Chains A and B, each alone.
Chain A
Amino acid sequence: AQKITQTQPGMFVQEKEAVTLDCTYDTSDQSYGLFWYKQPSSGEMIFLIYQGSYDEQNATEGRYSLNFQKARKSANLVISASQLGDSAMYFCAMREGRNNAGNMLTFGGGTRLMVKP
């Protein structure tokens, strides 16, 4: 089974509108972390936001927020007031706690977001 599933291969959003990128995960660990990274066309991986499994509040970083629904095992990224520069690939990733001495991140397949002017 996939550990990280991103069901939206591509999405369009109108500039200045909000958009939600879906991410569901599969783990039996109690302690884990969820990450979102942005990959623009230039190729680098930019860290956006992190949510720990024990965090009670949803993480927020500027225009990015994470809609964390633990019971549903979902960690959706919400981008408010989309900008043209938000057009990129977005990857959800998980760091499981158990038997992970190497701190490995497992990535989803990504969602390509395209912001329309």
Chain B
Amino acid sequence: EPEVTQTPSHQVTQMGQEVILRCVPISNHLYFYWYRQILGQKVEFLVSFYNNEISEKSEIFDDQFSVERPDGSNFTLKIRSTKLEDSAMYFCASSRRLGPVEQFFGPGTRLTVL
């Protein structure tokens, strides 16, 4: 069964460093998303991406964040200058189409900022 994959599973970085989190969405899906979950808290929407551009972003997704689909399979989230409060689990998700259809989540990348 096709699934969303994410690398790395765990990333440790120093405050102020740039990180890139990588995702490979399900191959025939057209919509891609990033969510984050701070430890013990609810899952929060960051950004959605379609047709090589951002469809929507939340207040969390400020200028420190960017997303890119560098080729036909990868979808990346970059944090330019990490802060302690960026420590969280970051989930990539994808869906076949727009609308109330299921979004399939990857296993997540746990980002720890020291």
Contacts and interface: CB of A to CB of B under 8 A. Distances in A.
A106 B44 CA distance: 7
Nearest to B49: A102
Contacts of A31: 100
B108 A104 contact: no
Interface stretch (A17-25, A68-76, A79-87, A93-101): A93-101
B102 A35 contact: yes
A105 B107 contact: no
Interface stretch (B11-19, B69-77, B79-87, B91-99): B91-99
A45 B105 contact: yes
Q: Is the interface of A mostly helix, strand, loop or mixed?
A: loop
B89 A43 contact: yes
Contacts of A32: 100
Given A102-B57, A103-B33, A33 B100 contact: yes
A42 to B, nearest CB: 8
Given A33-B100, A45-B105, A104 B43 contact: no
B43 A101 contact: no
B105 A37 contact: yes
Contact of B95 (A44, A103, A108): A103
B42 A109 contact: yes
B6 to A, nearest CB: 9
Of the listed residues A31, A43, A95, A102, the one surrounded by the most CB atoms of chain B closer than 10 A to its CB is: A102
Interface of A: 31-33, 35, 37, 42-47, 50, 52-53, 91, 93, 95, 97, 100-110
Given A91-B43, A105-B103, 14 more contacts: A37-B105, A44-B107, A45-B43, A45-B105, A52-B100, A100-B56, A103-B31, A103-B95, A103-B99, A104-B45, A104-B56, A105-B43, A106-B45, A108-B42
